[in-house]
Structure 1
Amino acid sequence: MSLLKKCLAFGVVVAVLLAALSVAGGYYWATRPLVLSSPTLDVTIQPRSTVRGVAAQLNRGGVPVEPAPFAWMTRVLGLQSRLKSGNYEFKTGVTPYEVLQKLALGDVNESVVTVIEGWTFKRMRAEFDANPALKHDTAGMSDAALLAAIGASSVQEAHGADSADPAVATNAEGLFFPDTYLFDKGTSDLNVYRRAYGLMQQRLAAAWSTRAPGLPYRTPYEALTMASLIEKETGRASDRPLVSAVFANRLRIGMPLQTDPAVIYGLGESYDGHLRKRDLQQDTPYNTYMRRGLPPTPIALPGVASLQAALNPAPTSALYFVSRGDGSSVFSDTLGDHNRAVDKYIRGQQ
């Protein structure tokens, strides 16, 4: 073999050895656990970051990946365009390869906040305020300021209400959809409020578009108010359309709704858990014993079932209902039948 051929063969062998060493070194680096600055770390990767930008953000967050090997591994695996932004949780023992896979899969560290059907907006705000994963940008804001901050229109503009009362125009009650919301840690609470508001707009519009004919509601907002009454009156699915029908029938003939949940809402902080005769005689805008028609705003956050029931009541002429005490109700067309049901289920008479 000539000297030139020997040199070429030697060069090939060296190149192969160097490549093997490089692969071995890369594998060793990629699978070696990282020494984190804390046992558990939350690191946020910003949108539209380059691979080296991602590496820099990881390092700033306490996850010490070396930028050059990290970029090499990303390129070799063909993941350059698949790294996703978001908040990620990393724990002791994680390797550079596992970090990369987590980012490529978008395995973000999502947190959750749940809003329950029938909650008031005040209760919803308390839940958001107590959630440690949210960034509390609404701290100190009034409800009206919060609505403005999320770009919500006034009640009149958003839902067709025609009240001239400024307090009604900026009232947030009922405008947010009760649901479970996932979000990245550190997300502004305004973002979640905005999503809940938008979702209620969608759900209300969908229900309004499929409403039964001849309902006594001029606007979607009035239907939303009715849905909140239904939400608080019963949790039984089969009773919701019947409760809706009773209230609609009463509205048509000008009969007071006489719904206790509205009275309780109007009492506010003075309500101590017991509704008394004097409470029913205390005049507030929400006292549906003393005032005819709907209350001025919703009294709670209604769910889909109550929205649909409000806009598609059962075909009945019933004007009364009373609880059986087991979650269901007895519905009556006449006052005489209603009084007999009250005697049986409330007064314990047969």
Structure 2
Amino acid sequence: MLKKLMLVVFILGLLAASAAGWGFFQLQSAIDKPVQIEQQTFITVKSGTSFRGLLTQLSDEKIMIESPLLRWVGYLEPSLTDIKAGTYAIEPQQTLHAVLTMITEGKEYQYAITLVDGERFSEWRQLLQADPHLTHITDDMTQQQISQAVGIDNDKIEGYFLPNTYHFTAGTSDISILKRAHAAMMKELDIAWQQRQKNLPLKTPYQALIMASIIEKETAVASERGLVASVFMNRLRANMPLQTDPTVIYGMGDKYDGNITKKDLRTPTAYNTYTMRGLPPTPIAMPSKASIMAAVDPDSSNYYYFVADGKGGHTFSTTLVEHNRAVRAYLKILRTQK
């Protein structure tokens, strides 16, 4: 009788083990199955979502077919049930196991915003406001309030942010992006200032930032930045007006319609470097790293003038006579292009 009982127990144990093995196999197959999407799909998991709630959400959003077996995932891999809120990108052919791993590890999708060098803060602000993935805190703030929120010790905010592509997760605040861009600019400016040439006609890092913004607006040719910087340094040393059109344009504000007239050049503003000597009071744009380095480490030259050459670059001159000749050549090129 005892032998029969032991045999029954053995058989029942064997059946239970077989059932458990079959269940394990089925569960493993279910979580290793690819999701049912044909293109990248985003899913936002809210705070407090349970594992079962996530399975239901994945099913409702047609990413996978819900199976009762999946409720036992916690017994197979407990870590896969530790759900973290966020926005995630699910790719075609990605397995459910990979999706769950991504969500439990909190690997949220990284959006990107590119803040372009040479643009003004007003242009960057429009870009930030238009991004649907950011939380917009600054929409109703003045530039002075934004300056205080970011930690800038100046009510004038222009130039204080480093152009770059910044990555962020959904819901990140626009202030957070600006803080990162400001910290990056201060770091680059500090590095550049420590490496500056001796006897520069610039007394502070902020003046270097102002100069860098002018260089940024004057040329898009990388190889010319050092020469453009040398012209402005030579003019500062000689106490000559910088006479740079981008500063005039900045000072005109909304009055600028795409053209500068002789009247505009003669109309004094805080930024009109034709009617004033020295640097304007603030940067006029967001300068790149390259322009910052050009401002603190300009080329050595005897140039005091430059004008567009009609080919994308500039002609540099030592004397006014040479410069006027270069201007006439440029105007001739413009006439032939009409």
Same fold? TM cut 0.5: yes
Output the TM-score relative to the length of structure 1: 0.82
Output the TM-score relative to the length of structure 2: 0.85
Instruction: Write the mapping of 1:156-235 to structure 2, written as runs, cut at 5 A.
Output: 169-235=154-220
**SS across alignment from 1:176:** coil
1:55 aligns to 2:58 (yes or no): no
Contact 1:322 1:329 in 2 (8 A): yes
- CA–CA separation in structure 1 for the residues paired with 2:35 and 2:303: 70
Evaluate the alpha carbon distance shift between residue 259 and residue 44 of structure 1 in structure 2; reply closer, same or farther with a 3 A threshold. farther
Q: In the alignment, what sits opposite 1:244?
A: 229
- CA–CA separation in structure 2 for the residues paired with 1:80 and 1:20: 22
Instruction: Give how far 1:311 is off.
Output: 0.7
Contact 1:70 1:96 in 2 (8 A): no
CA RMSD across the alignment: 3.1
1:313 aligns to 2:324 (yes or no): no
Per mean C-alpha deviation after superposition, the further-off stretch among 56-65 and 135-144 is 56-65
**SS across alignment from 1:297:** coil
Instruction: Give how far 1:337 is off.
Output: 1.6
Cα shift readout 1:164-197 (whole Å, capped 9, x = no counterpart): xxxxx31110111111111112211111111111
Instruction: Give how far 1:87 is off.
Output: 2.2
Unpaired segments ≥5 residues, structure 1: 155-168
Q: In the alignment, what sits opposite 1:69?
A: 72
1:325 aligns to 2:310 (yes or no): yes
Q: In the alignment, what sits opposite 2:88?
A: 88
1:153 aligns to 2:145 (yes or no): no
Q: In the alignment, what sits opposite 2:328?
A: 343
Per mean C-alpha deviation after superposition, the further-off stretch among 219-228 and 58-67 is 58-67
Evaluate the alpha carbon distance shift between residue 216 and residue 70 of structure 1 in structure 2; reply closer, same or farther with a 3 A threshold. farther
Letter in 2 for 1:71: G
Per mean C-alpha deviation after superposition, the further-off stretch among 95-104 and 190-199 is 95-104
Letter in 1 for 2:148: A
Contact 2:45 2:84 in 1 (8 A): no
**SS across alignment from 1:172:** coil
Contact 1:147 1:170 in 2 (8 A): yes
- CA–CA separation in structure 2 for the residues paired with 1:80 and 1:191: 31
Evaluate the alpha carbon distance shift between residue 56 and residue 231 of structure 1 in structure 2; reply closer, same or farther with a 3 A threshold. farther
Instruction: Give how far 1:9 is off.
Output: 2.0
**SS across alignment from 2:117:** coil
Instruction: Give how far 1:25 is off.
Output: 4.0
Contact 2:27 2:73 in 1 (8 A): no
Q: In the alignment, what sits opposite 2:122?
A: 122
Q: In the alignment, what sits opposite 1:290?
A: 275
Contact 2:42 2:87 in 1 (8 A): no
Equivalent pairs, count: 324
**SS across alignment from 1:224:** helix
Q: In the alignment, what sits opposite 2:63?
A: none
Unpaired segments ≥5 residues, structure 2: 61-65
Contact 1:43 1:57 in 2 (8 A): no
Letter in 2 for 1:277: K
**SS across alignment from 1:231:** helix
Cα shift readout 1:279-335 (whole Å, capped 9, x = no counterpart): 011111000011110000000001011011111100112111111011211111222
Per mean C-alpha deviation after superposition, the further-off stretch among 316-325 and 228-237 is 316-325
Evaluate the alpha carbon distance shift between residue 60 and residue 130 of structure 1 in structure 2; reply closer, same or farther with a 3 A threshold. farther
- Match 1:264 to one of 238, 243, 249: 249
Instruction: Give how far 1:248 is off.
Output: 0.8
Letter in 2 for 1:242: L
- CA–CA separation in structure 2 for the residues paired with 1:337 and 1:35: 70
Instruction: Give how far 1:3 is off.
Output: 2.8
Instruction: Give how far 1:61 is off.
Output: 6.0
- CA–CA separation in structure 1 for the residues paired with 2:330 and 2:36: 68
Letter in 2 for 1:311: V
Contact 1:203 1:304 in 2 (8 A): yes
Instruction: Give how far 1:20 is off.
Output: 1.4
